[in-house]
Structure 1
Amino acid sequence: MVIYSSCCRDFDLIFVQVKTKTLDISVKPQLGAENHDAAFIPIIRSGACADIGFRSSMEDVYICADNFMSDYGLKNANDGPNSFYGVFDGHGGKHAADFACYHLPRLIAEDEDFPMEVERVVTSAFLQTDSAFAKACSLDAALASGTTALAALVVGRLLVVANAGDCRAVLCRRGNAIDMSNDHKPMCSKERKRIEASGGYIYDGYLNGLLNVARALGDWHMEGLKGDGSDGGPLSAEPELMTRQLTEEDEFLIIGCDGIWDVFRSQNAVDFARRRLQEHNDPVMCSKDLVDEALKRESGDNLAVIVVCFQSDPPPNLVAPRPRVHRSISAEGLRELQSFLDDLAK
C-alpha cells in the first residue's frame, strides 16, 4: 500500500500529459565495493511522520511504497524487495511538492527501462517532472512554487538515492552513519562552480539572491533561475545519485527534510534512531520519535522523516570486545615464586 502525507493522495492539479520516453542521460553506476553477503535479502519495514512545526503552513510531503512495483501495477521482475520512498520540501507554496510527490514515482514506474536501468530512469523522471510542472504553471499561474526532492529506491539489494536540494538520506551501517546524499547549498564549491558557469551568482548565501538551495524542482516563475537552453539555468532539477549494495551490516535508512537536519547531525540522528529501534523495533514509532525530538530541539521548519529498516530484528548491541591479555612467566620467575612460597611455609 502506498502511504502519502497530507493531500498528496488526492492531488488534483491541471492534467498534464507526460510522455515517458527515457531521456538521453548517462549515469555512471557508483556501486559500493561490498560484494560479499550475496545471499543477503533485505526485509523492508518503514514508517514516516510529518509535523508543521513552528511554521504557519505545511509544505513538506512524503510518500512510502514498500511494494513499489505491485502498488504501481508493475510485474515484479525478481523475488527481492522493490520499494520507493520520497520526501519533498516545498517553498513558496505546496503545489510543486504535491505535484512531484504524485508524478515522480509514476514516471519511474511507467518507464519501460525500469528496473533494469534504474539510475538513468530516476534521473530522467526528475527532469520530466520538472518540465511537466513548468507546463502546469503555464496553464495556471497560481501553482507557481518550488520543491526540493529526494527519492530512495530499494531494488533487490541495490539502494539508489537521488537528491535535488537539501533533504538528506543517511544509512546506518552497524551503527555508523553513511551519508547517501549531499546538501545542495549555493555556497558548496561544486554547486558554486556549476551556478556561475550557468550564468548565475550567489548573494549573501542565496542563489541569485532568491533561494538557499542550488537544486530544486519548479520555481519556473522566478526570473533567471531556469531556462530551456542546454545549460538549463543556475537552478538545476537534475538529481545527484548515490548507490550502494546493501549487506547484512546495513540496519536502516533515515530520509528527512532539512528541518530534521537543522538540529541533527547525521551520526547523531543514527545514534538516536538506533536506540529507539532497540527499545521498540518499530520504524513508525521511530520516525515519530525523531520528529518529537526535533521539536524539542526547536527546529524552526516543517518536519518530515521516513525510517526504512532492512532487518526484521532490532539493531544489535555493539559491545567492543575486551582485548585478551596474554601473560606468561619464565622458568626463572617460577623458581623465584616457588622459593618465596617455601620461605612463607617455614
Structure 2
Amino acid sequence: IIDFVNISRVAYKCVDFVQLQRMAEYSITTHKGSNPFIRAVAVCEEKNSTWKKNMEDVTIFHEGYGGKEGTSFFGVFDGFHGQISAVTASREMPVLVLEQLSKQDSLLSLEKDQVKLLSRFEALFQKDYNRPYPGQAQNIGLGLGPEQLENLTNMEQVNLAFTTAFWKMDRVLGLGKNETSKIRWSGCTALLCLIDSGLPSSDGKEQGTGQESNTPTPPQELQGGRILIANCGNVHAVLYKQGRGFRLTKDHSTSNPKERKRILQSGGAISVNKQHGLVEGLTEATRGLGHYGDRKLKKSVIPVPYSVSLPTDPSFQMLVLASSGLWEVLDEHAVAERALTVIELTQQKLIVKNLCLMQTVEDSSVSDSQGCIQSRPGSSIFDSEEPSSVKDEDNPPELDMPEPLGVQARDIQNAEETERHQSLVLQQESEVNVKGTMADSLKNLTLDYERLAADICRELVDTALVSGSRENISVMVILLHGLDKDYQSDSATIGCLRQ
C-alpha cells in the first residue's frame, strides 16, 4: 500500500511534501455529529498567505437546528473586501432561514433570543414593504399574495424561504454595523446546506412508547428526509454518489454567460483583465450579499440565491462544501476523484490491517490445536514407557510368546488411523474457532470516519494550493451514511480473500 505522502508527491508532480506543509497554515476540526444520516464532519480553513493577507472566509455548523432532532445546518461564507459581512451573515443567516422554514415545518421552532433578534429588524424590513409577505419586495420580485403562497409546490416554498432570508440578510448588512471603510463596505458570497434526516419525532422517543430510544435509526427507515442547498455566488456544493460528483449549486460568476448577459443588460461593466473578467473590475462573483457604498457594484451583484431540495437517499456518500478558493482551480469531477483516492487508500489500509490481524489469530489458533494434539497422554503409539502389568493369581501369566508379524502391523495401522481421525476432528474444531474469531474481528474493526473526513479535507486543500489557488480556501467535508456500503463490500472482499 502506498502511503499518503508518496501519493501526494505523485499527484503534485513531485512537489516536496515538507515544503507544501510549510506553505499551508490550515487547521482542521472534526465533529462526529448526532445526525443519523451523517457519519462525520471535517472543516479545513486555509488563509493562503502567499496571496492573501487576511482570512475572510467563515464556516458554521449547527446540530439540532431549530430544536429538531436529526437536523443539521451548515454554512460557508466567502468574504470580500474584509470579513465583516461574512461574520455578520454567519451569525444572522441561520436565524433568518429558520424563521422562513419554521412556517413550513412545525417541528422547527425559534428560541426566545432568536425571536427577540428578529423583532429588532422588523422595522427595517417593513420599511421596504408594507405587506407581511416579502414577495412584495422589489428585490425578490415574486409579487405573490397569501392565497397564491398556499398553492406553491414544496420546491417553490423552499425557494421563497431562501430568497426571503437572503434578501433580509442583505438589508441587515446595509446597516453597516462594524464597517469602517468610507468608500466600499465588505461583501460576501454564501452557501447554505440543511440536512434533515427525517426522524419521526423531535424528542428522541419512540412513538407510542414514551421511552427514549438509544438504537440509531438505519437510513432506509428515515422517512421524509431531505437536503436543502442554497448558494449565492461562486461557492459550491458537490454531492458524491457511486464514484461520481454532482454539483448541486449554480455558478454565479463571470464565467456564466447568462450572468454576464444580465449584468451587461442592466448597465454594469465587466473588465477584461482576467480570463472571464471582473464585475466592475473588482470581483468574479455576480451574486452576493453586502457591497454597500459602491452603487455600480451593488446594482450588478444581486442577493438572489439558487436553491434546490432533494430527498435523502441511502446511496448518498459525501457532500463537499467549499469557498471559491477551491473551485477556481478544481471542478466537481476533480474533487470527486481526489476524494475517491483518499477513500480507496484508507479502505486498502484497513483491509491489510484486517488481513494481518486475522493471520495472527489463525496462526495462534493452529498452534494451540497442535499443542493439544501433542500433549494428549497416551495418544502416540511410540511411547517408550509401557503400562505396568497387574498380576492375576487366578489367571497366571502366560508364556511370553512373540506375536505374528501380521498382527503387529494391523495394530499399528489401526492406531495410525485413530490418530489421524483425532487430528482431523481437532483441526475442524480449530477452523471453526478461527472463522468465528475472524468474523468477530471484522465486526470490531470499523473506519475512523472523523479521520477519513479530515484526510479528504487535507487532500483537497493541498491540491488547491499546489494547483495555484490565490484565494482563501475553506472546505467542509460531510460523510454520509451511504459511505458504509463501500466499506461493507470491502469487508466481504476480505472474507473472500481468506477462503
Q: Tell me, yes or no, whether TM beats 0.5.
A: yes
Q: How far, CA to CA, are the matches of 1:138 and 1:127 in structure 2?
A: 20
Cα distance change on mapping 1:123 and 1:168 into 2, 3 Å: same
Question: Relative to 1, partners in 2 of residues 1:67 and 1:309: Cα closer, same or farther, differing over 3 Å?
Answer: farther
1:95-143, Cα deviation, whole Å (9 max, x unpaired): 1111111111121223441547544222211111111001135986579
Residue 279 of structure 2 is matched in structure 1 by: 207
- TM-score normalized by the length of structure 1: 0.70
Residue 313 of structure 1 deviates from its aligned partner by 4.6
Per-residue deviation, 1:190: 1.5
Sequence identity (%): 28
More strand by share: 1
Measured at CA, do residues 293 and 67 of structure 1 come closer, stay the same or move farther in structure 2, by a change above 3 Å? Answer: farther
TM-score by length of 2: 0.49
The aligned runs of 1:173-322 (5 Å cut-off) are 173-204=241-272, 205-226=277-298, 233-278=299-344, 279=346, 281-282=449-450, 283-311=453-481, 313-314=483-484, 316=486
Distance across 2 between alignment mates of 1:254 and 1:187:
21
Question: Which consecutive unaligned segments of at least 5 residues does structure 2 have?
Answer: 1-25, 28-35, 107-156, 199-224, 347-447, 491-499
Does 2:57 align with 1:60?
yes
Distance 1:149 1:294 in 2: 20
Conserved 8 A contact 2:318-2:483: no
Distance in 1 separating the partners of 2:282 and 2:473: 22
Counterparts of 1:93 and 1:107 in 2: how far apart (Å)?
22
Give the Cα separation in 2 of the matches to 1:194 and 1:297. Answer: 31
| Corresponding pairs, count | 267
| Structure 1 or 2: more helix by fraction | 2
The RMSD of aligned alpha carbons is: 2.7
Q: Output one character per residue of 1:126-171: Cα deviation in whole Å (capped at 9) or x when no partner.
A: 1111110011359865792111111111123211111111111100
Mapped to 1, the partners of 2:485 and 2:297 lie a distance apart of 44
Deviates more, 1:51-60 or 1:290-299: 290-299
Aligned with 1:84 (options 60, 73, 87): 73
| In structure 1, distance between residues paired with 2:479 and 2:158 | 21
1:42 pairs with 2:30: no
Cα distance change of structure 1 residues 45 and 98 upon mapping to structure 2, 3 Å threshold? same
> Take 2:179 and 2:244, find their aligned partners in 1: how far apart are those partners?
47
> Are the equivalent residues in 1 in contact too, given 2:61–2:73 (CA < 8 A)?
yes
Give 1:153's aligned residue. Answer: 194
Letter of the structure 2 residue corresponding to residue 274 of structure 1: L
**What is the CA–CA distance in structure 1 between the aligned matches of 2:311 and 2:240, rounded to whole Å?**
13
Deviations 1:207-250 (A, max 9, x none): 23332210011101212233xxxxxx321111011222221111
- The aligned residue for residue 168 of structure 2 is 128
Q: Which residue of 1 aligns with 2:90?
A: 101
CA distance in 2, matches of 1:208, 1:161: 28
| 2:232 pairs with one of 148, 164, 173 | 164
